[in-house]
Structure 1
Amino acid sequence: MTMLLVLGEYRVIGTEPDGDTITFLPTDPLAFGRLKDAPVEVKNGVARARLDGIDALETHYDRTGPRMRQPAEFGDKAAQELLTFLGFGNVQRIGQRVVSADPPQSPGWLLTQGGDAFKRCVALLGTGTPPGADGTELQVDVPLLRTTANHHLLKTGLVYPGFYGKLPRELREELAAVTRQAREAGLGLWPLDATTTPAGAFVTGMASLTEVVILPKLFRRLVDHFNLVEQSLTGFPAYLAGKEDTVEVLSTRTKQLSLAPLVQITDGSVVRMTAQPEDTVFAEN
């Protein structure tokens, strides 16, 4: 499958980049207009780029209530690693907002098949010499994938994989492989990950979520449940069952209509998933 190559520059001043989202200014203001089936929103000339195939710990999640974050150590490290990879140094923040960086913008390119439900550009991010001309359609192979920030972040173990159906199988399998390598080597967040461990994550309410390292998608669902339903896990399975999270477990070739069948709750306060993150592929909403 081909992806659209878009040249431009990454910008951080006045924004809140995290480990999987950053602002991108395309050289051609009409570049994303070619993506008719999955549009990308461009405001004041810039788009939000969401890194394909990864899911970084949340640093400022507030979709259903006050801002919440996962353990700061790995959320902040992933954000810093992404900015360093993209060419930014001496990044200074007030809260999550970047107030200065050297340089304030950095040239780069991205490869995309379109936007997500929030019209963010879902993309592979790169720097240095572009792999082609601006606005061309490229066949993306594993060697090209290995030059991207997406691959780098998973290789360091600072982020989780987050696979959706449009990501080509060959690329997904490469990202899954580097995820397993990072886990087996004990890199980054993996020594503290509780997503699928037998002990699971001890969750007693909203405040406890800031202390456990779990898959960000599961974190977001827990936060939304606590904000919208109740401060206990009693109704969490029913809440999950009502969400549109169509997911395939690759190893068993089974499809579920929600995360509910993949999440176990024991003793009223222990949550764990039964499938590894790299073994799941979600349908685009």
Structure 2
Amino acid sequence: MPYLLIEGEYRIIGGAPDGDSIRFYPRRTARWEQLEALSKTHRIRQNKDGGVQLRLDAIDALETHYTPGVSGASIEHQPLEYAHAARDALLGFLGFEQVQHGKDEKVMASQPERVSGFVLSKFVDVYGRAVSFAYQGTPPERDGGLVFVEDGLLSQSANHHLLAQGLVYPTYYSGLYFELRRVFNAAVASARRGKGLWPQDRTTQGFELKTVTTLNNRVVILPKLFRRLIDYLELNQGSLSLSGLEAYLRARNDEVVVLSRGQKTGLHFLVEVKGRKVRLKEPPENLMFLEK
């Protein structure tokens, strides 16, 4: 299936971009209607100027500001050294310089204020975001055209760049083609040799969850696992007991395929808890989550 090419610009002032999400404004807002027709899933959520939040496909960056889904009373983050490194690498790749951030992670100033580029997208997720490959510069085809993504074009994306630098985790969903996963996995294999966050990764090795600060400042893990743990702990209203984690994950119903076995299962079967130690049984690149 081809991807829709949408030409436009990235804007970051007043927003809080991170390593896998940024706001994009198309030259023609009618492109969002085209994307909805192509996606046949959810409606796009755009602001008054046509801007839409992108979810960069195939990657997940450490959280700079995550609001738990129960009460929304707190804002949590993962180790900021790596969360900010991914954010800064994305902004630099797209062409933003001298970016100034406030304490709330929002951008106060940048040079330039807007950067031209294009995205390739074919899917709208449940949150109304355009799931996309993001690019800088002039597009290879016309705005609004359909493009088949091959290895060379994929390797020019911000998505691939961040994976190759080891600054984000691979996180695959069912809309991503096998051939593209193969290209991303090659970048991951290379980065795992010592780049970016990988020397500190504890996703499959496991870690002891002593306090919430463990998640905020001390361990580098797959962001999806971080989000589920933070949501679970907030639901427990301060209790650090992990006795109900499996039941909680079961209720969240994250369906996932273990790619090496072609086995469909639930995330609750893949998260192992022994006492206070938590780990994911499979490496992230061996998993494909099913879109909701």
* TM-score (normalizing by structure 2): 0.94
| 1:161 matches 2:170 | yes
Give the one of 40, 47, 65 matched to 2:44: 40
CA distance in structure 1 between the aligned counterparts of 2:123 and 2:264, rounded to whole angstroms: 24
Deviates more, 1:61-70 or 1:158-167: 61-70
Q: Is the 8 A contact 2:197 2:220 kept in 1?
A: yes
Q: Is the 8 A contact 2:68 2:234 kept in 1?
A: no
Give the one of 199, 203, 222 matched to 1:191: 199
Determine the structure 1 residue equivalent to 2:78.
Answer: 70
CA distance in structure 1 between the aligned counterparts of 2:195 and 2:137, rounded to whole angstroms: 26
The superposition leaves residues 180-205 of structure 1 with CA deviations (integer Å, 9 ceiling, x where unpaired) of 1100x2100000000012xx122123
In angstroms, what is the RMSD of aligned CA positions?
Answer: 1.0
Q: 1:264 aligns to what SS in structure 2?
A: strand
Give the one of 225, 235, 242 matched to 2:232: 225
Determine the structure 2 residue equivalent to 1:255.
Answer: 264
Q: 1:9 aligns to what SS in structure 2?
A: strand
CA distance in structure 1 between the aligned counterparts of 2:82 and 2:214, rounded to whole angstroms: 16
The superposition leaves residues 195-231 of structure 1 with CA deviations (integer Å, 9 ceiling, x where unpaired) of 012xx12212322211210000000000000011342
| 1:8 matches 2:8 | yes
The superposition leaves residues 148-172 of structure 1 with CA deviations (integer Å, 9 ceiling, x where unpaired) of 0000000000000110001111111
Q: 1:90 aligns to what SS in structure 2?
A: strand
State how 1:141-160 maps to structure 2 within 5 Å: 141-160=150-169
CA distance in structure 2 between the aligned counterparts of 1:25 and 1:244, rounded to whole angstroms: 33
Q: 1:125 aligns to what SS in structure 2?
A: strand
CA displacement at 1:176 relative to structure 2 = 1.4
Determine the structure 2 residue equivalent to 1:176.
Answer: 185
CA distance in structure 1 between the aligned counterparts of 2:162 and 2:143, rounded to whole angstroms: 25
CA displacement at 1:63 relative to structure 2 = 3.4
| 1:202 matches 2:238 | no
The superposition leaves residues 117-145 of structure 1 with CA deviations (integer Å, 9 ceiling, x where unpaired) of 10011100001220210001111111100
| 1:59 matches 2:68 | no
Q: 1:84 aligns to what SS in structure 2?
A: helix
Determine the structure 2 residue equivalent to 1:28.
Answer: 28
Structure 2 unaligned blocks of 5 or more:
none
| 1:244 matches 2:226 | no
CA distance in structure 2 between the aligned counterparts of 1:82 and 1:124, rounded to whole angstroms: 12
Determine the structure 2 residue equivalent to 1:82.
Answer: 90
CA distance in structure 2 between the aligned counterparts of 1:40 and 1:134, rounded to whole angstroms: 18
Q: Is the 8 A contact 1:204 1:232 kept in 2?
A: no
- Equivalent residue letter for 1:13: I
Deviates more, 1:68-77 or 1:37-46: 37-46
Q: Is the 8 A contact 1:245 1:259 kept in 2?
A: yes
The superposition leaves residues 209-267 of structure 1 with CA deviations (integer Å, 9 ceiling, x where unpaired) of 112100000000000000113422111111111112100001111110x211111111x
- Equivalent residue letter for 1:176: N
CA displacement at 1:274 relative to structure 2 = 0.9
Determine the structure 2 residue equivalent to 1:216.
Answer: 223
Structure 1 unaligned blocks of 5 or more:
none
Q: 1:242 aligns to what SS in structure 2?
A: helix
- Equivalent residue letter for 2:279: R
Q: Is the 8 A contact 1:146 1:152 kept in 2?
A: yes
The superposition leaves residues 81-132 of structure 1 with CA deviations (integer Å, 9 ceiling, x where unpaired) of 0000000000001120000000001000000012111001110000122021
- Equivalent residue letter for 1:57: L
- Equivalent residue letter for 2:83: G
CA distance in structure 2 between the aligned counterparts of 1:188 and 1:207, rounded to whole angstroms: 22
Determine the structure 1 residue equivalent to 2:286.
Answer: 279
Q: Is the 8 A contact 2:68 2:230 kept in 1?
A: no
CA distance in structure 2 between the aligned counterparts of 1:212 and 1:157, rounded to whole angstroms: 16
